């Protein structure tokens, strides 16, 4: 699923960038243990819903292959951390932090994600824009 979301601007506390929340899809539209990709202002975001109902969002770009494929990765766990394995070369990333568990020098950008009623929203700040 690829969507082009609508934006909602939320002002943060003084000194912090304003987050722009984007409506992505319905919560029910995300299949547990499967990823989805959304194009958010030119940034591909991989969004995941795990069996326990948690939501995670990180960059869809696999830094090892240069392909936008992480939303198609295999979800799992390593040392109790929720993970996604790239479908290309199988590097494993922590869904919470974006850190590559196979190469600590590499990390993916992560994005704030939330459930608002039956909708899933992802936020971008100025630091996320490409």
Please determine, looking at this structure, whether the domain spanning 6-128 carries the CATH number 1.10.3720.10: no
> What local confidence, expressed as pLDDT, does residue 14 receive?
53
Between CA 116 and CA 35, with CA 84 as vertex, the angle to 5 degrees is 45
pLDDT value at 127 more than 70 = no
Instruction: Establish how many alpha carbons lie within 13 A of residue 5's alpha carbon, considering only the half-sphere containing its beta carbon.
Output: 26
Q: What is the pLDDT of residues 48-73, one digit of tens each?
A: 999 999 999 999 999 999 999 999 99
Question: Would the pLDDT of 77 be above 50?
Answer: yes
Model confidence at 95, in pLDDT bands (50, 70, 90)?
very high
Q: What is the pLDDT of residue 19?
A: 87
pLDDT in the model for residue 5: 55
pLDDT for the residue 110 = 98
More confident: 39 or 16: 39
Tokens for 114?
């939330």
């Amino acid at each position: 699923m690829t969507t082009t979301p609508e934006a909602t601007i939320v002002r943060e506390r003084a000194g912090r960038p304003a987050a722009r929340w984007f409506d992505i899809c319905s919560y029910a539209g995300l299949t547990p243990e499967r990823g989805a990709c959304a194009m958010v202002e030119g940034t591909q975001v991989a969004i995941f819903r795990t069996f326990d109902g948690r939501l995670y969002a990180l960059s869809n770009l696999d830094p090892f292959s240069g392909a936008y494929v992480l939303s198609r990765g295999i979800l799992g766990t390593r040392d109790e951390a929720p993970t996604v394995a790239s479908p290309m070369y199988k590097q494993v990333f922590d869904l919470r932090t974006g850190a590559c568990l196979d190469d600590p020098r590499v990390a993916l950008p992560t994005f704030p994600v939330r459930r608002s009623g039956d909708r899933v929203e992802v936020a971008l700040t100025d630091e996320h824009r490409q």
